[in-house]
Amino acid sequence: MKILITIILLSIAKLVAQPIPNHYNFMAQKDSLYYLLTDNSLLKFYSHEASGEFFLTKYLEGTFPTSTKYTINDDYFFLSYNDSVFYYSNRYIDELSFENVFVPGFTVTSIHGFGPYFFIRSGNTYHLFKVVNGIVVLVEDSLFNHPSQELVFFVYPYVTIAQTVYKYVEGFDFYPVGQINIGNGNTGLTGNTLVAYYFWVTPPIPGVIHSELHKTLIEEPSFPDTTIYWWGYNIPELQQNYGWGTLIAKKNLYFMMWVGVITTYNSQLAYLPTTEDRVNISDYYIFKLGGDTLLYSKWNAGSTFYPFTWTNYTYVENEFTSPTDFALFQNYPNPFNPITKIRYELPERSFVIIKVYDVLGKEITTLVNDEKPNGNYEVEFNGNGLASGIYYYRITAGDFSQTKKMILLK
């Protein structure tokens, strides 16, 4: 990873024209990479700890509703809406390429990354899938059921369900390996550590008289390995407002959503979101998504927020450079409705044919049928009048031919 980062930082920054969003949907994080989804784009950034510097490494255009769900596993970034799952190869710092769409045939309540796998939760049932050679395959149908998502945590190869830790081994078993002591809420997961907040009150409930933070390592042969801290006494909002709910845990930040308090790991108040705030936290940042504005604060900087800006360090082809190889690029935006653009490159004069086909191989239209000199080209495809679904576009230029998928989503 350090080598790739160095390559990016030493490369020439090329400014590209990203679409201007009308709405910020969410900011997600995995390690040092951040994923920003807006209504019209998906952007991938690198940021070192709490440096406050964000480097754009990849972006894709598309149409993404506010209800979009996401997850990340070892190799892919997943988006889900309209009970379909779109997946993007995500193995390298500068990679985020649309690969395919999967329709499971049931309601997608939530999705969860799990090492090389991913779970789709439908109602109370968890189904396990894996991408093999670019295609989603079902690994375990109905691996387990549980009514409360707040009590299910994934730390590959372990799944914690309430107070029992299970281990999954493909082709072998899904079996209990340990018991842990967590309550019925106020618990979150960061890395391989469950973080749980407990408090005690005395009748007639004048306030919290004692509170603790329990950290349980989900790792063999350590668990149950729990460290207990006296915690939260210096945060009045936790002492005066108590209850049970969702705890979002990150390396340095905890979002106690039942009381609307963001704290640091060492029991300091980080930020008090207002009722109008939409807030995402990461290991090192707090992000405020205000419709068409995006602000960030460093985890130890309290409520000092800055406009979110970035530097473009992207591998974008220079339009003014003579190409050295034939190439067909992924259409953009993708998914699209109803217009998308297809870019291709010719290193020499060639007779070019570009056609669009449906999933049955039936020819839909011919976009290009002409001889062209070497250079960079772009052609537009209009899917007006076609049904939503997967289509293919194919280029033939001399001895070169290549086919790619695209999705029309109305």
Residue 162 sits in the same domain as residue 233: yes
Q: Are 124 and 144 in contact (CB under 8 A)?
A: no
Query: Is residue 238 assigned to a domain?
Result: yes
d(CA 60, CA 40): 9
Query: Is residue 216 assigned to a domain?
Result: yes
**pLDDT of amino acid 7:** 33
Neighbours of 59 (CB within 10 A): 20
Neighbours of 123 (CB within 10 A): 10
**pLDDT of amino acid 344:** 92
Encoded amino acid at 22, one letter: N
Residue with tokens 């149908």: 141
Which residues constitute the domain of residue 376? 327-408
* CATH code: domain of residue 403: 2.60.40.1930
Residue 170 sits in the same domain as residue 268: yes
d(CA 365, CA 344): 17
d(CA 108, CA 36): 21
Q: What string of pLDDT tens digits covers the 410 residues of the chain?
A: 333 433 333 333 334 456 688 899 999 999 999 999 999 999 999 998 999 999 998 889 888 999 999 999 999 999 999 999 999 999 888 889 899 999 999 999 999 999 999 999 999 999 999 999 999 999 999 999 999 888 999 999 999 998 899 999 998 899 999 888 877 678 999 999 999 998 888 776 667 778 899 999 998 887 778 999 999 888 888 887 777 889 999 999 999 998 999 999 999 999 999 988 999 999 999 999 987 899 999 999 978 999 999 887 644 333 335 678 899 998 878 888 898 889 899 999 999 999 999 999 999 999 999 998 888 888 999 999 999 999 999 999 999 999 999 999 88
In the sheet that holds 76-81, the strands lie side by side as 69-72, 76-81, 84-89, 97-102
d(CA 101, CA 87): 6
**pLDDT of amino acid 11:** 36
Q: Please name every residue paired with 214 in a beta bridge, in sequence order, or none if there are none.
A: 196, 228
Query: Is residue 207 assigned to a domain?
Result: yes
Question: Distance from first CA to last CA of the chain, Å, rounded?
Answer: 38
Residue 153 sits in the same domain as residue 223: yes
d(CA 147, CA 36): 30
Query: Is residue 189 assigned to a domain?
Result: yes
Residue 349 sits in the same domain as residue 257: no
**pLDDT of amino acid 314:** 43
Query: Is residue 193 assigned to a domain?
Result: yes
**pLDDT of amino acid 5:** 37
Would you say the C-alpha torsion 100, 104, 109, 113 has a positive or negative sign?
A: negative
Domain end: 272, 307, 342, which one? 272
Kindly give the pairing relationship between strand 311-312 and strand 55-61: parallel
Q: Please name every residue paired with 227 in a beta bridge, in sequence order, or none if there are none.
A: 215
**pLDDT of amino acid 322:** 64
Residue 264 sits in the same domain as residue 364: no
Query: Is residue 310 assigned to a domain?
Result: no
d(CA 227, CA 249): 16
Query: Is residue 404 assigned to a domain?
Result: yes
Query: Is residue 311 assigned to a domain?
Result: no
**pLDDT of amino acid 255:** 96
Report the number of distinct structural domains present in the chain.
2
Residue 153 sits in the same domain as residue 241: yes
**pLDDT of amino acid 17:** 54
Residue 150 sits in the same domain as residue 268: yes
**pLDDT of amino acid 205:** 64
**pLDDT of amino acid 210:** 83
pTM: 0.74
